[in-house]
Structure 1
Amino acid sequence: MSAHPLIAPSHPRQHREIAMSRLIIEDTARDKSVALLAVTLVDLIDLERRLKSAHWNVRGPRFIALHELFDRVAGEVRDAGDDVAERIVILGGFADGSVRTAASLSMLSRVDDSPGWDEAEWVSHVAEVIAEAGGRARRAIEEAAAAGDADTADLLTGLLRDLDKQLWLIEANLG
């Protein structure tokens, strides 16, 4: 994950001390966690937007079930992004939640969705992106724990548990 632009100390948004805090955590753990969470946040924003695209554009005999499922999962991902952003700020970082930042810095695979996709293609696309976000969260958990920030590792563990559940719900719709 260290090749990500948000982790570079020279990134303009990577300011550790926005507000004073009595939070007791080593600076190296704080900085590492803010960087890991910033990467996670842009991935979650990208994932949520892709889910909304699937929600809006899916067509077929299972339309209503998939339309509602994609919307519900998008809401879960949005809420998880809110928790991640709040943890960034708690640690003294800047939570950049702009769509522009997410579009330019998300590390999730770039796949151009198609107006011609059928239900199965939408389900497969959504499942692939959720699985990828989960894999990235799993690596971030390990890095946060290794840096000594158990709270961030715990937050990311909860996120991963939720992503795994959402993936299961989506994959249940694959033939």
Structure 2
Amino acid sequence: MSRTRCVCILGVPLNDERGYVAKALELHDWSQCVLSAGSNIFVLPYGEVSEAQRQAFDEQLTHNDHFLQRGLSALLNYPGLITIADMPPGPSPALKALTGLADLHLIPLLADSASMSTLAHVEKQRLTGAALNHKHGHYFVINQSDSRRQVSRDVTSLMEEKLGRATAWRDPS
């Protein structure tokens, strides 16, 4: 007898293709695409999209200053709701569009040499072309700091020294 195992992220099965991006151009309120993922946790998944849909979405993010605000308005105005946007690393039209809406930015960095270049991009405002946040600022989470590895210790120490109070959390692995 075979059993199928469901792999989930925040309670949403990985094989669930629903999302807001495929419908973003036709819907004015993306909250219709929110999925419940358990007790008081809701997810607005990106969803499965064609290349043409992704390009059209990115085009709107790039050229329509109110596109994201319009789609997320119902969610952003919900009292007491904390919204976390999980973005891919590096510059993107979505990151640039979200920057003006965010109250705070948390930037996860690994305790490795590659993350040092990400840090340089943030400092030189290369992620969005401007400061990341004018409201409550931005903070860094140093993730997977392995005290057994010299390079990890060195990078963690350098980041903590360089970032000072902007370090929100250091997660030892």
User: Is the shorter-chain TM-score for this pair beyond 0.5, marking a shared fold?
Assistant: no
Flag the structure with more relative contact order, 1 or 2, with Cα contacts below 8 A and sequence separation at least 6: 1
Higher helix share: 1
- Larger Cα-atom Rg: 2
Higher strand share: 2
The TM tier, using the shorter chain, reads under 0.3
If the length of structure 2 is used for normalisation, what is the TM-score? 0.24
